[in-house]
A and B are shown apart, each in its own frame.
Chain A
Amino acid sequence: MGRLSRRTALHLAFLAIALAVPLLHDTYYTRFATQIAMYGMAAVSVDLLLGYAGLVTFGQAAFFGVGAYAAGMLTVAGFHEALVVWPLAMLAAVAFALVIGALSMRTEGFHFIMVTLAFAQMVYYIGESLRSYGGDNGFSLPRRNTLAGMSLADHTVFYYVVLALLVLVLYLASRLVGSEFGMVIRGRRDNERRLAAIGFPPFRYKYAAFVIGAAIAGLAGALMANHARFVSPAILSWQVSGQLLSMVILGSAGTLIGPVFGAAVYLVFQQVLSDYTDHWMIFFGPLLIARVLFVKEGVWGLLVQALKAQERPAAPVPAPDQGAAQ
């Protein structure tokens, strides 16, 4: 009980920090925080697959990018209402996920990674071939979408909208993984055959998780297109898929909120290093390797562990078997 409220307190503290960012009255920080929230949302979609369904996908950039492209193309075509554009962008991502998911789900493990990576590359080439949308160079959006008629041109307003959507996504995702559906996909991750034996067709559940993940990534992509007012095939590149996966791992997989921290760590690291050098990746690559080889937990996991350690002297932790019985 004490631990639970502490964790809730931690959530609220970070939410308060996030809400306070625009009080700095510096567009730079507001835009930076917006970026963290958008990448964080995309990383949450990866975590849903990786941390709960146990699917290592190396192709989430496809859905992130399709969302961005769809939102951008609709905006260029004269649709400016976010309530129309954003759901349609999510729908576009879902359409791609229905096809790519059905094919990728035929494979497992090593092959699943390769196949998702390959299909994402296919979407990259489709983006690159759209000559009327700038091909390789991408295209600009005339202006940001409006939300129920309200302008999102102001960076602070846009930031709060993105933050609200991120909180909503986190809430819905945590409800989802806590539901029967969530238990089934976790059960499948741990033992697919047993799950099938007790009457849950595993394919249907992991396919659904894949498609839901794509919808979230598509929304993040639509926000990204609005944030930058620019879309190019770069958002579809395999490096983006790798980045999203890295964010999940830096922040702790299977925690939903962790990947948002992972996105923050990743982007802060990138920003700080690129103040000193153009070649920040030469440092980030080895850092990622070190995280994988030597550290078992991501930032969020370490934070929670630290909290638990602090708690111990105050309230003795019950013996494991008693704990399980509660």
Chain B
Amino acid sequence: MTLALFIEQLFNGVQFGLMLFLMAVGVTLVFGIMRVINLAHGSLFMVGGYLLVESYRVIGSYWLALPVAIVGVIIVGAVMEVLVLRPLYGRGHLDQVLATFGLTMFFNEAVVVIWGRVPLNLNIPAGLDGHFEIFPGVNYPVYRLAITAAGLICGGLLYFIIVHTRLGALIRAGSDKREIVEALGVNIGLLYTAVFALGAAFAGLAGMLTGPLLSVESGMGDPILILTLVVIVIGGSGSIRGALAGSLILGIFDTFSRVMLPRIVGLTAGSALVGMADYVLMATVLIYSRTGLFSAHRG
């Protein structure tokens, strides 16, 4: 592996890791604070992609369509929380996975009803479609750099919200001692909806940013959701730091295993091993620690 290829793949890995982080934030916050497992988080990723395609078609400007789609996915998330998630608080894990699995079935089919079964293409916005020489001899797609930047900005924004705002203080308090926050007279219902909508916004944004790299289609969020769960097993649940560490580790590991394994063991065995690699990493972490590397809730 040449240095140029290494750097290119490192950039890819970080970019993928940041996308996973945008997904993992919502899952880990919702679990950490509301104690709910949301299998429909992948649907929010998919809905984000579709809403951007649709709003772009209507508005005609990517930079106007993007915020409109984000508002759209926040609304979808808030409605989802009020109608389905709210009655699940305090229920067992089984009820939670089944109801949110039902949501996934609903959304995967709803987008087919609205937009058809044919995958939609989302073009890379004008101005971001070129290449940029990040290293002598390495021409890197500007769009991927833009995604990386967007991921970093979101991470910074999240840090700011969590550390410097009242919402953030409530989130931190809520994930440590939920009962106390409730006892202090905080409108816990509103806080939950806000947390869920925040997670939905990040997941939707991840879908929007990834849209041009994949195609926007029914079920596009499902594999991402499962990888997000792997991130949380690796990083530990309920912790944003864990989500960030887990995302970057998995993003970089996934990218490099895709490039390296077929070279090392040959194409046939390589393709099987590539599919397994992320889960072998998860198994390794599980052997090392049952609760992940940075769990907020030990035991």
- Chain A residues with CB under 8 Å of chain B are 50, 56, 58, 103, 106-107, 109-111, 113-115, 117-119, 121-122, 124-126, 128-131, 238-239, 242, 245-246, 249, 253, 279-282, 284-289, 291-293
11 residue pairs from A and B, CB less than 8 Å apart: A56-B97, A110-B93, A115-B286, A118-B230, A118-B233, A242-B101, A245-B94, A249-B94, A282-B106, A286-B106, A288-B101
Main SS of the interface on chain A?
helix
Chain B residues within an 8 Å CB radius of A288: 98-99, 101-102, 105
Chain A residues within an 8 Å CB radius of B237: 110-111
B185 in the interface, Cβ–Cβ < 8 Å?
no
- Chain B residues with CB under 8 Å of chain A are 31, 37, 84, 87-88, 93-95, 97-99, 101-110, 112-113, 222-223, 226, 229-230, 232-233, 237, 268, 271-272, 274-276, 278-280, 282-283, 286-287, 290-292
Chain A residues within an 8 Å CB radius of B97: 56, 58, 113, 242, 245
Chain B residues within an 8 Å CB radius of A279: 109, 112-113
Chain B residues within an 8 Å CB radius of A50: 94
Q: Is the CB–CB distance between A121 and B226 below 8 Å?
A: yes
Q: Is the CB–CB distance between B103 and A282 below 8 Å?
A: no
Whole-angstrom distance between the alpha carbons of A253 and B93 in the complex?
14
Tell me the nearest residue of chain A to B229, going by C-beta.
A114
Chain B residues within an 8 Å CB radius of A118: 226, 229-230, 233, 279, 282
Tell me the nearest residue of chain B to A132, going by C-beta.
B268
Chain A residues within an 8 Å CB radius of B95: 292-293
Q: Is the CB–CB distance between B101 and A115 below 8 Å?
A: no
Q: Is the CB–CB distance between A282 and B109 below 8 Å?
A: yes
Q: A113-B93, A292-B98 are in contact. List 6 more A-B contacts (CB 8 A).
A: A131-B271, A245-B98, A292-B88, A292-B99, A293-B87, A293-B95
Q: Is the CB–CB distance between B226 and A238 below 8 Å?
A: yes
Closest approach, in angstroms, between the C-beta of B280 and any C-beta of chain A?
8
- Given the known inter-chain contacts A56-B97, A110-B31, A125-B276, please indicate yes or no for A292 contacting B226, CB distance below 8 A: no
Q: Name the contact of A111 in the complex, choosing from B268, B287, B291 (C-beta under 8 A).
A: B291
Chain A residues within an 8 Å CB radius of B84: 289, 293
- Given the known inter-chain contacts A282-B110, A286-B106, please indicate yes or no for A129 contacting B275, CB distance below 8 A: yes
Q: Is the CB–CB distance between A129 and B99 below 8 Å?
A: no
